């Protein structure tokens, strides 16, 4: 039995982490690690029906995310109250929230979005402004704000000392250099992603979509089903 690692996932919307890292998360849980997943928004713009209100969508997506987390075994979920589509305008508040979470949780590993994705592939998920905004906020917090005692001294006064994260795994990256074999947890990942009914309820082939993602992620590493990450090690 290895020492349990503390993993803090910081993503923009419900479903981001399940699609990109659900198999890895299920493996971590199996191995006895502790996973806390934080969604900075409830994905309140994530519906194509103009008759829905953002509040209704947010409520539905929170329920879906709780179901998905239960399927994977994620021990803790937190929803912050930033608005879907507006993270790029939340600069100072977003930076402070990311820094505070890191100092409070003191994780061994952080999972977040790659803010530097988008060139040369310009894949749609990489172009989402929320994904970029939270990626920048979290990576900058890991390297500079969370370990720097002169940033937000109010945190230390509240009992949360500066902290340096040693490992960051970036999802949606064009520069993946770290791969996790998800053959043993792929079926669980499919179930978790299907729990996001507002996003995948009408999808003709969720399993095929995820199998394609996993096959492409694993191909450069000779791993049939994988999730790929860009790994950063701040020091
Ligand atoms: Zn997203």
pLDDT of residue 121: 81
CB-based contact 225:23 (threshold 8 Å): yes
128 Cα–ligand 1 center, Å: 7
pTM (2 d.p.): 0.96
Phi first, then psi: what are they for 49, rounded to 5°? -90, 115
- The percent of the chain in helix, strand and coil, each rounded to the nearest 5, is 45, 20, 35
- DSSP-assigned beta bridge partners for residue 37: 9, 77
Tell me if 144 is assigned to some domain: yes
106 Cα–ligand 1 center, Å: 24
Mark residue 189 as left, alpha or beta (left: phi above 0; alpha: psi -120 to 50; beta: remaining).
alpha
Going by DSSP bridges, is the β-strand pair 6-11/109-113 parallel, antiparallel, or unpaired? parallel
Q: Give the tens place of pLDDT for each residue, 54-79.
A: 999 999 999 999 999 999 999 999 99
Tell me if 1 is assigned to some domain: no
> Six-digit token pair at 48?
């194509």
Tokens 């969508």 found at: 57
pLDDT of residue 2: 66
Tell me if 154 is assigned to some domain: yes
Tell me if 174 is assigned to some domain: yes
Q: Is 185 helix (H, G, I), strand (E, B) or coil?
A: coil
List the CATH number of the domain containing 18.
Answer: 3.40.50.10320
User: For residue 144, what is the DSSP state?
Assistant: I
125 Cα–ligand 1 center, Å: 7
Tell me if 199 is assigned to some domain: yes
CA 120 to chain centre: 22
Taking residue 187's Cβ as centre, other Cβ atoms within 10 Å add up to: 13
2 Cα–ligand 1 center, Å: 32
Q: Quote the crossing angle between the two packed helices 16-30 and 186-194, to the nearest 10°.
A: 140
8 Cα–ligand 1 center, Å: 17
Domain limits for position 104? 6-232
154 Cα–ligand 1 center, Å: 31
131 Cα–ligand 1 center, Å: 6
How many CA within 13 A on the CB side of residue 116? Answer: 10
Query: Can you list the residues of the chain whose pLDDT is less than 50?
Result: none
37 Cα–ligand 1 center, Å: 14
Number of domains in the chain: 1
């Amino acid at each position: 039995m290895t020492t349990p690692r503390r993993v803090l996932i910081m993503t923009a919307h419900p479903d981001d982490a399940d699609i990109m890292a659900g198999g890895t998360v299920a493996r971590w849980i199996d191995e006895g690690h502790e996973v806390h997943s934080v969604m900075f928004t409830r994905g309140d713009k994530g519906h194509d029906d103009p008759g829905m209100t953002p509040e209704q969508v947010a409520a539905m997506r929170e329920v879906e995310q709780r179901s998905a987390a239960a399927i994977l075994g994620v021990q803790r979920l937190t929803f912050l109250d930033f608005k879907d589509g507006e993270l790029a305008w939340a600069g100072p508040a977003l930076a402070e929230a990311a820094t505070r979470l890191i100092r409070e949780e003191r994780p061994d590993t952080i999972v977040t979005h790659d803010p530097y994705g988008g060139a040369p592939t310009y894949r749609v998920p990489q172009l989402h402004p929320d994904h970029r905004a939270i990626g920048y906020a979290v990576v900058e917090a890991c390297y500079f704000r969370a370990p720097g005692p002169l940033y937000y001294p109010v945190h230390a006064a509240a009992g949360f000392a500066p902290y340096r994260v040693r490992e960051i795994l970036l999802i949606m990256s064009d520069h993946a250099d770290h791969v996790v074999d998800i053959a043993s947890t792929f079926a669980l990942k499919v179930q978790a992603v299907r729990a996001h009914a507002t996003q995948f309820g009408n999808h003709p082939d969720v399993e095929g979509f995820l199998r394609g993602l996993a096959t492409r992620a694993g191909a450069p590493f000779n791993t049939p089903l994988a999730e790929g990450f860009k790994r950063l090690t701040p020091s």
